[in-house]
Amino acid sequence: MSIFSHPDFDDHDGVYSFSDAKSGLRCFIAVHNTNRGPASGGTRFWNYVDDGEALTDVLRLSRAMSYKNAMAEIPLGGGKGVILKPQGDFDRETLFAAYGRAVEKVGGQYITAEDVGVSPNDMRTIKTQTDFVAGLDDGDAASGDPSPHTADGIFRGLEVAVKHKLGVEGVGGLIVAVQGLGHVGYNLARRLKASGAQLIVADINETVTRRAATELKAKVVSIEEIHAQEADIFAPCALGGAINADSIDDIQAYIVGGAANNQLKTPEMGAELQKRDILYCPDYVLNAGGIINVASEVSGTYDYDWVDGKLEGLRVTLKEVFDRSASSGRPTNEIADEMARERLKPS
Ligand code: NAD
């Protein structure tokens, strides 16, 4: 299939592939849109079945970054990197250094940061080869791991959703089912617990679920059952596609909102959630806290007050999405896409 006829191509500004035999690097960097500024979005390091799966992922994720950055009103375009995890042995530092050189070749059109499978340590390795990297934990404007800020934005957004859907202030007394207790999911769970919510959790990693059971008094269920819990909120915080034809009929929650990118397996799932009277918080609106934090670093001077203002802005934007959806009767994901496309138009 040619790249231009790929179903997720969506008029990308640029799609780059890089390989390096010595390190085993095979990666894609996709730059979706730069109307608002240089494209930025994390790099994912994942065990893809093949390069077709990785290409689809990078295209979908980079478009979502354009929409996310536009909805968060930050001066960045949308882009993403994915690295295919090599089969067999590889040297992580050599691999991420080669990836850093790939980012450098894109010449500043793309600024990278962390995503699934990538750590601040990997960012330091990338930084040895290029300045087009953020989410660092040292240096003049370093903003560190974006995950706690992503969790903060999700928490604030869920409060808006709860008010809109259930008519109550805050999450106290509500039950939240959290799928995935990684960097964002665990931070979010901790924040929810501190605010009086009860937690049901699932993760493929038993160490984190055990910790959540002890530390947060969370009820642990299997990964096959988490979406089907009797909860007020279902928070997908693992990988994409949690809302799909197989899972949708089992969802009991009134609200779906979490960290994962591309939570809807297909856009039609948004209408299906609406039909079932479930309020969907569009993922890229809710989970923009991390990239907001990164944007402050990219500006050259880290400023938490600016970050906090933008996180508060997410509440306003989300409320607008919900209100427009309520008045038009259209699904929240369609409203968010429409607002994002409006904001992406060249000024
Ligand atoms: P992470 O890798 O730290 O955590 C993911 C967690 O999900 C891990 O604990 C993993 O064991 C678990 N998991 C994997 N498959 C699972 C399954 N089938 N069921 C339950 N748990 C499963 O990643 P993260 O940084 O916390 O990101 C989580 C999601 O949020 C990703 O989709 C990411 O793209 C998105 N996101 C992250 C950020 C950020 O700041 N890190 C920002 C925006 C969006």
Residues 6+ apart with CB under 8 A from 193: 199, 216, 217, 218
pLDDT of residue 1: 67
C-alpha 203 – ligand 1 centre gap (Å): 10
Chain centre distance of CA 221: 24
Helices and strands counted in the chain (H then E): 11, 11
Helix residue ranges per DSSP H, 106-199: 120-127, 147-166, 183-194
**Ligand 1, atom nearest to 287 Cα:** 43
What distance in angstroms lies between residue 346's CA and the mean position of ligand 1's atoms? Answer: 33
Q: Which of 239, 151, 254, 228 is nearest to 195 (CA)?
A: 151
264 CA from centroid of ligand 1 (Å): 15
141, with CB counted inside 10 A (0-12, 13-18, 19+), is middle
CA neighbor of 235 nearest in space, from 270, 171, 185, 172: 185
Show pLDDT as tens, one digit a residue, over the chain (347 residues): 689 999 999 999 999 999 999 999 999 999 999 999 999 999 999 999 999 999 999 999 999 999 999 999 999 999 999 999 999 999 999 999 999 999 999 999 999 998 889 988 999 999 999 999 998 887 777 788 889 999 999 999 999 999 999 999 999 999 999 999 999 999 999 999 999 999 999 999 999 999 999 999 999 999 999 999 999 999 999 988 999 999 999 999 999 999 999 999 999 999 999 999 999 999 999 999 999 999 998 888 899 999 999 999 999 999 999 999 999 999 999 999 999 999 998 87
CA 233 to ligand 1 centroid distance, Å: 17
Report the predicted TM-score, pTM, of the whole model to 2 decimal places. 0.93
Of the residues 116, 261, 262, 286, which should be mutated to test ligand 1's pocket, given the most ligand atoms within 8 Å of the CB?
116
Question: SS3 breakdown of the chain: % helix, strand, coil, rounded to 5?
Answer: 45, 15, 40
Catalytic residue IDs:
80
Q: How far is the CA of 63 from the centre of ligand 1 (A)?
A: 19
Is 183 near ligand 1, meaning CB less than 6 Å away?
A: yes
Q: Which amino acid is at 190?
A: R
57 pocket-lining for ligand 1 (C-beta < 6 Å) = no
Domains and CATH numbers, the chain: 3-127 (3.40.50.10860), 147-288 (3.40.50.720)
Report the residue among 184, 225, 285 best suited for mutation to probe ligand 1: largest number of ligand atoms under 8 A from its CB: 184
Q: Could you tell me the CA-to-CA distances from 58 to 52, 67, 115, 234 in Å, in that order?
A: 10, 14, 12, 26
* Residue to probe by mutation, ligand 1, list 40, 69, 150, most atoms within 8 Å of CB: 150
Ligand 1 pocket, 258 CB below 6 A?
no
Which ligand 1 atom is at minimum distance from the Cα of 179? 20
